[in-house]
């Protein structure tokens, strides 16, 4: 058993709000055993996954009306499909001004709720973050208007890791969940990499009765799913589902492996992963090069013991204090 201390800054700011600095320690309950280089699962890799296509869903016609007392429709006519993805750099201050001044109903902290219908989902967007200051405003500029068109109640939680220690993306998601639930009784959690920009506004960011993988076709992978069990980039779970799987693992220091572990947790809990149809799951990735983030070489051993660790490594051993 060993203890690693890291300093994280939790920013529930979406637009402007910063939370207090958090001191986070995670107790990892087994030493990493190195020397194996498989993916740690029994799953084979398939670089050309193409599931059977269901008939495309029908979207509501122009002029469709609804009342403020009714649930917001999931397939509004304003959701037209293919988006223009603008990856040009912009300052956070300019995005803040644009959203706060020009978009109706956004309040400090990046909170928004539709007024013309009842939102089907209260969505917390959790974004792990370090040294991506030029990427965050691009994501906010792009994603906020889409979520408004989808008539979702939402807020952004940007969880920033300080210091020079290896990046722990998975633990940041756990911390973001804990902090978000202090603000509101969210029922849908979206785990979103800061460099992923959706290309289709019909990729609905509500949750389903099964965990959801949104970022199915990424440009840097030639719009193909790298392997069937790929669960990275953007994923979504209900709060109930996230609790049942004990959240993300805390043991993955450095990049790589935590998404495969999440996939294992989902299946050990008897869930299956749902994905958007056709080209709705297309994303562009803002170029970056991990900027000195170390690859976690011990991920293969941890993945081999995913089932055993799921009970002891996750939300129930997350340790941090204000």
Please give the full DSSP string across 263-277, using - where no structure is assigned. HHHHHHTT---B---
Instruction: Examine residue 61 and state whether it is found in any structural domain, yes or no.
Output: no
Q: How far is CA 33 from the centre of its chain?
A: 29
- With residues binned 3-state (H G I as helix, E B as strand, rest as coil), the percentages for the chain, rounded to 5, are 25, 20, 55
Q: For the stretch 232-250, what's the b/e string if a residue is b when 16 or more beta carbons lie within 10 angstroms of its beta carbon?
A: bbbbbbbbebbebbbbbbb
Residue 58, domain member (yes or no): no
For the beta carbon of residue 118, count every other beta carbon within 10 angstroms.
15
Residue 316 CB partners (closer than 8 Å, separation 6+): 246
pLDDT (tens digit, 9 = 90+) per residue, 140-196?
Answer: 999 999 999 999 999 999 999 877 888 899 999 999 999 999 999 999 999 999 999
Domain assignment of residue 63, yes or no: no
The number of CA neighbours under 13 Å toward the Cβ of 67 is 2
* For the ranges 58-67, 150-159, 312-321, the one whose mean pLDDT is highest: 150-159
Report which secondary-structure segment, H or E, holds 43. Answer: none
12 inside domain: yes
Whether 71 is covered by a domain: the verdict is no
Segment (H or E) for 180: helix 169-183
Structural domain contains residue 280: yes
The CATH number linked to 127 is: 3.90.550.10
Q: Is residue 227 part of a domain?
A: yes
Count of domains forming the chain: 1
Q: How far apart (Å, rounded) are the C-alpha atoms in residues 108 and 51?
A: 42
Share of the chain above pLDDT 70, in %: 77
Q: Which residue segment(s) compose the domain that 95 sits in? A: 2-34+80-321
Residue 174 and residue 179: Cα distance in Å, rounded? 9
- Answer whether 0.85 is exceeded by the pTM: no
- pLDDT at site 187: 96
pLDDT digits (tens, 9 = 90+) for 239-278: 999 999 999 999 888 878 899 999 999 999 999 999 999 9
Residue 22, in any domain of the structure: yes
Mean pLDDT value across the chain: 81
């Amino acid at each position: 058993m060993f203890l690693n201390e890291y300093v994280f800054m939790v920013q529930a700011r979406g637009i402007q709000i910063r939370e207090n600095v958090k001191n986070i320690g995670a107790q990892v309950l087994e030493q990493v055993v190195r020397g194996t280089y498989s993916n740690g699962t029994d799953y084979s890799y398939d670089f050309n996954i193409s599931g059977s296509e269901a008939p495309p869903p029908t979207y509501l016609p122009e002029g469709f009306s609804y009342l403020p007392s009714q649930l917001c429709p999931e397939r509004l006519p304003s959701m037209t499909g293919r988006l223009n993805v603008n990856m040009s750099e912009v300052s956070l201050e300019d995005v803040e001004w644009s959203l706060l001044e020009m978009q109706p109903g956004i309040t400090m902290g990046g909170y928004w709720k539709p007024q013309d219908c009842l939102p089907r989902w209260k969505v917390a967007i959790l974004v792990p973050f370090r040294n991506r200051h030029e990427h965050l405003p691009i994501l906010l500029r792009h994603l906020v208007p889409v979520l408004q068109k989808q008539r979702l109640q939402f807020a952004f939680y940007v969880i920033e890791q300080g210091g020079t220690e290896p990046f722990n993306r998975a633990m940041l998601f756990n911390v973001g969940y804990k902090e978000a639930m202090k603000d509101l009784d969210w029922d849908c959690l979206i785990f979103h990499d800061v460099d992923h920009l959706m290309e289709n506004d019909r990729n609905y960011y509500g949750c389903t009765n099964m965990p959801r993988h949104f970022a199915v076709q990424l440009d840097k992978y030639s719009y193909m799913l790298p392997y069937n069990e790929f669960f990275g980039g953007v994923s979504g779970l209900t709060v109930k589902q996230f609790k049942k799987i004990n959240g993300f693992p805390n043991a993955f220091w450095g990049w790589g492996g935590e998404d495969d572990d999440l996939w294992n947790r989902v299946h050990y809990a008897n869930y299956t992963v749902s994905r958007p149809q056709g080209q709705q799951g297309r994303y562009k990735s803002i170029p970056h090069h991990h900027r000195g983030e170390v690859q976690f070489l011990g991920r293969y051993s941890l993945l081999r013991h995913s089932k055993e660790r799921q009970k002891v490594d996750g939300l129930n051993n997350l340790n941090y204090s204000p």
